[in-house]
Amino acid sequence: QSALTQPRSVSGSPGQSVTISCTGTSSDVGTYDYVSWYQQSPGKVPKLIIYDVSKRPSGVSDRFSGSKSGNTASLTISGLQAEDEVDYYCCSFAGRYTSLVFGGGTKLTVL
């Protein structure tokens, strides 16, 4: 099972919105609504920020939102802040045999 495809990097100015895509296939993102997103600062543990495509865990800012269309899931970060300049990973369920697959990660730069 190949990793989900994410852009290596995205950028945006403070206050703007950016969207990170996560492209899979009809075997994972396209079929299941089990898409999650993780935020990871350098040297830190990944933090869950979105699950079930668009749900936010308690305590996660509403500046983070998720969506899905076809085989592509997206994470949108609105009102960009300097602290958002970290790495983001998507993850999807891919069926009983494969179970889970992560994306290659996206580094967000706040200009």
Partner 1 sequence: QITLKESGPTLLKPTQTLTLTCTFSGFSLNTDRVGVGWIRQPPGKALEWLALIYWDDDKRYSPSLQGRLTITKDTSKNQVVLTMTYMDSVDTATYYCARDTYDMLTGFPRYYFDYWGQGTLVTVSS
Answer for which of 51, 56, 64, 74 binds partner 1 (CB under 8 A) is 51
Q: Does 98 bind partner 1 (CB under 8 A)?
A: yes
Positive or negative, the CA dihedral 41, 57, 77, 105 is: positive
Answer for which of 62, 83, 97, 111 binds partner 1 (CB under 8 A) is 97
**91 residue type, one letter:** C
Torsion of CA 11, 15, 67, 60, to 10 degrees: 110
Binding mask 64-93 for partner 1 (x = CB under 8 A): -------------------------x-x-x
Helix (H, G, I), strand (E, B) or coil at 2: coil
Helix (H, G, I), strand (E, B) or coil at 92: strand
Site residues for partner 1 per CB under 8 A = 1, 3, 32, 34, 36, 38, 40, 45-48, 51-52, 57, 89, 91, 93, 96-105
